[in-house]
Amino acid sequence: MSARHPAALGLTADRIDTTVTFWESYARLALSGEIRGNRSDLDELEAASALRRAGQWAMITDAARATNLLTRSGTLWHRHGHGFGTFLLATYAPTELSRTQMSERVAQLLRVLDRGPAATGVQQDAAVPDALQYPQQQAYLLMAAAADPRLGDGQRAELVAVASEAWQRGGTAPIGALGVPLRLYWTAALSLLQRDRDAAAQALSRSFGSLATAYNEAIESAMANTYLWQHTTSEVDVGNVDLVGLTVITARQHGTAFTREVVRGTAFVESPISRACFEIATEMADVVDDRPRERWSTDIAHRSDDGGDGDESLWRPER
C-alpha cells in the first residue's frame, strides 16, 4: 500500500495502525463475552461493527489486513441475516460464500420484494431474516448479488425483473455511512446485474459521481476539526467500504480500464481527497481478486447457520 495515501489525507500511518489495532482488539473483547457477562447476539453485532471500523481504516495503509478485517466483519453480519454482511463477503471475500448460500439469500430478497422464488428452485418457505425487512439491507443484498459472477442466469434474470419494478429503485431513504439516497445503490446494482457495458457505464458514472461528491463533503467537514481528524476520532469513514466496494465490483465485472473510464471526469478523480480513495479502491481490488479463479465456479463447503467451523475462523491469519 502506498505511503502517500496517509499523507494525502493529512494523517500518519502510525496513528492509523494504532486505530486499527484498537478496533480489532475491541471486537475481540466483545466476542469474549466479558462486556456483558456472557456472549450475546448484541456482542456479535458490536464486534462486527468494530471490525468494519478497523477495516475501513486499514484500507489506507494495508489492503491485505483490511480484507481480512472486513471478511471477519462480514461473516458476523451475514450470520445474523444482514444484507450488509453478505455484501462485504461477496465483495471483499467472494470465496467465503458458496453458490448455495448466495442463491438462498437472493431467494430471500425475491420473497421480501413480493415475488416468490418459484423460478429459482429454492423452497417457498425459506425464512427471511428480520434484518432483511429494511430497504437498506435489501439494497446491500442486491449489491452482493451483483458482485457474485456465479449467480445463475435464471435467478439473475428474475432478480433484475423484480428489482427493476421495486419502489426501492427510486427510494430516497438514506443508506451507508454517507447517507446518500437508496436509489444510487439500487441503480448501480441493477446496472451491474444486467452486464450491459454501455448502460452500466452511464449508470455507474452517475453513481460514482454522486457518492464521490458526498464523500468529499464528509471528509472535508471532518478535516475542519483538526484535532479529531489527526487523532482519527472523527465520525467519518475515511476508507468508505461502499464506495471502495462498488469500485471492486465494477473492476471485477468489467475490468480496471473500464472502471477508470467510468470515473473519468467525476468527483472521484477530480478531487485530491476522493482520488486517494479511488487509488485505495483499485489497490483493494487487486488484493481481493488475487485468488484462484477456478474456485469462483465451484461450490465451497456450506457453512452451518451457527458459524460452521466455529469462531476461530474470525481470527485466522491474514491472507
Q: Model confidence over 105-141: pLDDT tens digits?
A: 999 999 998 654 444 444 444 578 999 999 999 999 9
Domain range for 42 is: 9-80
Is the Cα dihedral 36, 305, 158, 115 positive or negative? negative
Confidence (pLDDT) at 87: 98
Confidence (pLDDT) at 293: 35
Where does residue 287 rank: exposed (0-12), middle (13-18), buried (19+ CB within 10 A)? buried
Confidence of residue 3 (pLDDT cuts 50, 70, 90): low
Residue 141 lies inside a defined structural domain of this protein? no
Of 80, 111, 133, the one marking the end of a domain is: 80
Of 27, 51, 80, the one marking the end of a domain is: 80
Rg over CA atoms, the chain: 19
pLDDT at 181 over 70: yes
Residue 313 lies inside a defined structural domain of this protein? no
Instruction: Report residue 197 as a C-alpha cell.
Output: 457495458
Which residue has cell 470515473? Answer: 263
Residue 63 lies inside a defined structural domain of this protein? yes
What mean pLDDT is reported for the chain? 85
d(CA 246, CA 143): 8
Confidence (pLDDT) at 158: 93
CA-to-CA separations, 4 to 13, 111, 207, 269, 287, in angstroms, rounded: 10, 46, 26, 16, 18
Which residue has cell 486505530? Answer: 19
* Residue scoring higher pLDDT (252 or 123): 252
Q: String of b and e for 157-174 (b: at least 16 CB within 10 Å)?
A: ebbbeebeebebeebeee
Q: With contact defined as beta carbons under 8 Å apart, do 10 and 223 qualify? A: yes
Confidence of residue 265 (pLDDT cuts 50, 70, 90): confident
Confidence (pLDDT) at 29: 96
Confidence (pLDDT) at 290: 63
Q: What is the pLDDT of residues 88-111, one digit of tens each?
A: 999 999 999 999 999 999 999 999
Helix (H) or strand (E) holding 189: helix 182-194
Which residue has cell 480484507? Answer: 67
Residue 310 lies inside a defined structural domain of this protein? no
Domains: count for the chain: 2
Measuring CA to CA, which residue among 98, 123, 121 is closest to residue 302? Answer: 98
pLDDT at 172 over 80: yes
Confidence of residue 2 (pLDDT cuts 50, 70, 90): low
Residue 129 lies inside a defined structural domain of this protein? no
Q: String of b and e for 49-68 (b: at least 16 CB within 10 Å)?
A: bbbbbbbbbbbbbbbebbbb
Residue 41 lies inside a defined structural domain of this protein? yes
Mean pLDDT over 181-193 rounds to 95
pLDDT at 177 over 80: yes
CA-to-CA separations, 103 to 126, 152, 253, in angstroms, rounded: 11, 8, 19
pLDDT at 243 over 70: yes
DSSP 248-317: HHHHHHH-HHHHHHHHTTSHHHHSHHHHHHHHHHHHHHHHHT-S-GGGGGS--PPPPTT-SS-GGGGGPP
* Residue scoring higher pLDDT (271 or 299): 271
Residue 2 lies inside a defined structural domain of this protein? no
Confidence of residue 7 (pLDDT cuts 50, 70, 90): confident
Q: What is the pLDDT of residues 18-40, one digit of tens each?
A: 999 999 999 999 999 888 888 89
Of 64, 80, 96, the one marking the end of a domain is: 80
pTM: 0.86
Helix (H) or strand (E) holding 62: none
Q: Which residues contact 187 (CB under 8 A, 6 or more apart)?
A: 169, 203, 206, 207
Residue 29 lies inside a defined structural domain of this protein? yes
Q: Which residues contact 204 (CB under 8 A, 6 or more apart)?
A: 188, 191, 192, 246, 250, 262
pLDDT at 300 over 70: no
